[in-house]
Homo-oligomer: A and B are copies of this chain.
């Protein structure tokens, strides 16, 4: 069986998720198109990289990502670093002929993202951006219903991504609050997942109109580079640094096909943990999804009998997308890991089959264009129409 060697740049939380995906993928999707092999892990120092490699099951480690990118044994470069380093690594990897999978958002803005898209297209390598949530089986089931016309023409999309891990003003100033590193705040970090849902399920967005808020203007400076997503609280008298990104974004959206809707992203919603939801109204039915209860999709069909009409709670399992490969009955439990395992499967399959996978760098670029427009709209206080940037058909 074919083997593909992975060089992973970054060994933090996302690195763990990707490593689990590589280890678990063949177990779930067998026969695997190819077996991903955890070849080399890169982190900022040799010491850190060595430990991460041991922890995550990589054979080798390095603190020099350029060497790894150039290593002829490596087939895939997997980028799980903060946003500001994505472009440089991805471009180098593409030039070295490696297939590239990169965490989201691809880069800090559309212009930077475009350089990545151009590089992978020029190199002819496979590319993917890790909007893993659309690979939740329930989300793929929503896509299936829509494509089969079971909820009719879509009228409305309302998406939210609400979290509270940074609602506490003592939650530290990680890189996610710094524009120079992150590009934007809640928008890029979580809002882009909702934009990905919107494009995946409804279609292209043509216009946005947003408000943006930074609720906590400064935060305790973090000691150490680790990004603990708010679990480390600073004590009283630490120095504080400026937050220069959004804590919250809400935007109206219009779609090419006439649908309208809204997207909301905030990290200041006490009690919401990973409240990534969408509600879609079609002229023949409705769909509701909430990632916090990700085994479930709720769907209402307008042609149900009058005395038995209402939202069905469908638990995904073998009868649903990706289900044959997962667990044998519904509700055994889809976790974060499974979304990443499916993502790895689809990416590796696209390499072996020489096909295009979605979402790829073109999708990532389109999302960056939308994100920029959202920020522009919030700043100017007006609708922003999106230049019809060329969108590839996948």
Chain A positions within 8 Å of B, measured between CB atoms, are: 1, 13, 16, 19-20, 23-24, 26-28, 30-32, 54-57, 141, 144-145, 150-151, 155-156, 158, 160, 162-165, 167-168, 209-211, 213, 215, 228-231, 248, 250, 252, 254, 260-262, 264, 266, 268-275, 279, 281-286, 291-296, 298-302, 304, 306-315, 317-320, 327-339, 381-383
Contact = CB atoms under 8 A, between A and B. Distances in A.
Contact of A334 (B156, B270, B317, B333): B333
B26 A23 contact: no
A28 B16 contact: yes
Given A27-B20, A329-B163, A333-B334, A300 B286 contact: no
A130 to B, nearest CB: 14
A282 to B, nearest CB: 7
A314 B284 CA distance: 17
Nearest to A377: B209
Given A283-B167, A299-B308, A314-B310, A13 B268 contact: no
A306 B319 contact: yes
A299 B20 CA distance: 32
Contacts of A229: 328-329
Given A261-B250, A335-B335, A155 B383 contact: no
A1 to B, nearest CB: 7
Given A13-B328, A27-B19, A283-B167, A156 B269 contact: yes
A339 to B, nearest CB: 7
Given A252-B209, A302-B168, A26 B57 contact: yes
A310 B312 contact: yes
Given A24-B24, A292-B295, A337-B335, A54 B328 contact: no
Given A27-B56, A335-B335, A285 B270 contact: yes
Given A270-B282, A281-B268, A308-B314, A334 B332 contact: no
Nearest to A274: B331
A269 B309 CA distance: 13
A29 B57 CA distance: 13
A26 B1 contact: no
A177 B269 CA distance: 37
A231 to B, nearest CB: 5
Given A271-B298, A335-B336, 15 more contacts: A13-B327, A16-B27, A20-B27, A23-B23, A23-B24, A24-B337, A155-B266, A163-B329, A168-B302, A211-B260, A250-B260, A291-B333, A308-B314, A333-B339, A335-B337
Given A231-B328, A266-B281, A270-B300, A260 B213 contact: yes
Contacts of A329: 163, 165, 229-231, 273-274
A155 B264 contact: no
Contacts of A281: 162, 266, 268-270
B271 A286 contact: yes
Q: Which 8 A-B pairs have the closest CB atoms?
A: A335-B335, A271-B300, A274-B331, A273-B331, A23-B23, A333-B336, A273-B330, A333-B335
A117 to B, nearest CB: 28
- Pick the most buried of A155, A162, A261, A271: most chain B CB atoms within 10 A of its CB: A271
Given A284-B270, A313-B311, A328 B254 contact: no
A96 to B, nearest CB: 27
